[in-house]
Structure 1
């Protein structure tokens, strides 16, 4: 069983969950730790000779140290790049937190130092009319790493997401500031406000990267509190 297990959530779609998750996996690898990861549901998959494939899931596979088959890393692959419950509805499928949690357990039971489960979209993205992505994290009782997409409005998004995480009974283990808008006004002031108000350590500040690589992200992170 993985020694340390975390759920990676974002303040918004395109906050940079996958990029940061891959950076954490790379940093752990550099520290000599073994890693596994999964993205149990992914919307926006492309048809390949091997079947539906998602870029985020493939990035996680490339970053983790212990090889797993694609179907274990991304068991629910949906074609449309829309909210997962809508993509599933269009394919005549149903999503449930219990089923997704069952898929994740196969990854979390791997013998590894660090396991990452990456969500889809934001904290309250629906899975079905009764459950959200948060239900999955609660089902697995995982501490949360929050990726804050640094752009106008990020303080509100980060504080509301943190309140929701705590209300759901989970621990915010740490957060990462990911600069998704290179032209963001008052970046340093926003960063300082988040550092003051968020009740968890900042694991790193990722600048706007062109191109973004997990190695460059790893250089910006301090994951000592996670491991």
Structure 2
């Protein structure tokens, strides 16, 4: 890839707010009129709405992108069965093509100033018998933003994810905490620990803490993100990648 500035958004688990953060990043990065495009390479779980099969995550990223995109451009691999992608692919008899996913990312590069790619589940989710979402992240080559679902056990999940990202030679430019458990005990202590350990061990700053929101629109979520730090980190990462080529 030519490495248009952007990021690969992964998470500590499924259902922890990756799509909301990805849509917020598209909103934030496009606030100055820049062209933004969202990509959800693999999405599992479709619903029939007004005569067509749609995926909520794909629709959210499409709506948040400033570039006009078709469903198939945002979600090149959409599987009907709502389960692990490799299982859904087998049930739907629709093998996931690694080359096709990379081609989909490349096709968006020339059409945008910022590309936001959302993974599926956590950092290592099988997509076939011998490859996973970590391999996909390496193929695309963008710096990574880790979404940490704030609940009991998230420190372990975050640190293991950060180690796995580093082991693949990818740059973790920062992390975003999302309040998915409004009744979580001692959240400030957990956030403090995450700030210290991810900064000290991976030079990955906190890019925002998203509270529990009744209406988590892209604009509402973006208001809790550090726009200046995000822009600087992604711009710096793109420049470093370009220099190393």
Q: Does TM, scored on the shorter chain, surpass 0.5?
A: yes
| Preserved CA contact (<8 Å) 1:2 1:115 | no
Q: Report which of the two has the higher share of helix.
A: 2
Aligned to 1:67: 68
| Preserved CA contact (<8 Å) 2:81 2:92 | no
| Preserved CA contact (<8 Å) 1:79 1:87 | yes
Cα shift at 1:49: 4.8
Task: Name stretches of at least 5 consecutive residues in structure 1 with no aligned partner.
Answer: none
Please give the alpha-carbon distance, in whole angstroms, between the structure 2 residues aligned to 1:167 and 1:74.
27
**In the alignment, does 2:158 pair up with 1:154?**
no
Report the 3-state secondary structure (helix = DSSP H, G, I; strand = E; otherwise coil) of the residue aligned with 1:225: helix
Please give the alpha-carbon distance, in whole angstroms, between the structure 2 residues aligned to 1:2 and 1:194.
29
Runs of 4+ in 1 over 3 A off after TM superposition: 48-51
Aligned to 1:223: 227
Report the 3-state secondary structure (helix = DSSP H, G, I; strand = E; otherwise coil) of the residue aligned with 2:82: coil
TM-score, normalised via structure 2 length: 0.88
Cα shift at 1:142: 1.4
1:21-32 alignment runs, 5 A limit: 21-32=22-33
**Root mean square deviation, CA, Å:** 1.5
1:138-153 alignment runs, 5 A limit: 138-153=138-153
Aligned to 1:13: 14
Aligned to 1:42: 43
Q: Number of residue pairs matched?
A: 226
Report the 3-state secondary structure (helix = DSSP H, G, I; strand = E; otherwise coil) of the residue aligned with 2:191: helix
Please give the alpha-carbon distance, in whole angstroms, between the structure 2 residues aligned to 1:48 and 1:32.
31
Please give the alpha-carbon distance, in whole angstroms, between the structure 2 residues aligned to 1:181 and 1:213.
18
TM-score, normalised via structure 1 length: 0.95
1:225–1:3 Cα change, 3 Å = farther
